[in-house]
Structure 1
């Protein structure tokens, strides 16, 4: 049970780091993704595994989305893409935090 509590705390910290990425220009997102990969194996087989996978997918999809949006912003289509990616990014973090708080796997 203690391992699950530690892994839940780890996930809470990484969610917070992802939120702080909005303030610190994504620097804390790099720390969070490294932490996710380091704890990935420990979370296998627990309800927390879904949170690690959720965070990893969120990181990579939003990174690609932000890059594409930035590049295309020079032809104006990128601005709506950046807005959609931002909203999706916030949604994923909030949904994950809510599920974590309820001790539920994320789907």
Structure 2
């Protein structure tokens, strides 16, 4: 019987786990090659609905917030470099925070722990 609704087949847990790890790797690689963070955020947004309700949902949210706050932080730092030279300090602080978020996220991933919202 076709009731007009498409049934959603849940993605295998292993696929979401792999994608979570791939995005952490892309974020880490973006410390050297910035464009990989954009690839990571695209993956996050494309697969976020599939991660909903799984143990990987908090990781996807963590990765998305990490990306956008880093973008904002670096966007604020660039004009400060030109104006006051303070941008180097703020940019470095954002960079350290970004590294911290990647490491903390990866450690939680490795232990299969959720991250705070």
TM-score, length of structure 2 as denominator length: 0.86
Whose Rg is larger?
A: 2
Q: What is the match of residue 13 of structure 2? A: 4
TM-score, length of structure 1 as denominator length: 0.94
Q: Which runs of 4+ in 1 moved over 4 A?
A: none
* Alignment of structure 1 residues 1-107 onto 2, 5 Å: 3-24=12-33, 26-74=34-82, 75-107=84-116
Stretches of structure 2 lacking an aligned partner (at least 5 in a row): 1-9
User: Considering only aligned residues, what root-mean-square deviation do their CA atoms show, in Å?
Assistant: 1.3
Matched residues in 2 for 1:89 and 1:22: separation? Answer: 9
Residues 65-92 of structure 1 show CA distances to partners (whole Å, capped at 9, x for unaligned) of 0111111111112111101100100000
Stretches of structure 1 lacking an aligned partner (at least 5 in a row): none
More helix per residue: 1 or 2?
Answer: 1
Aligned pairs, how many?
106
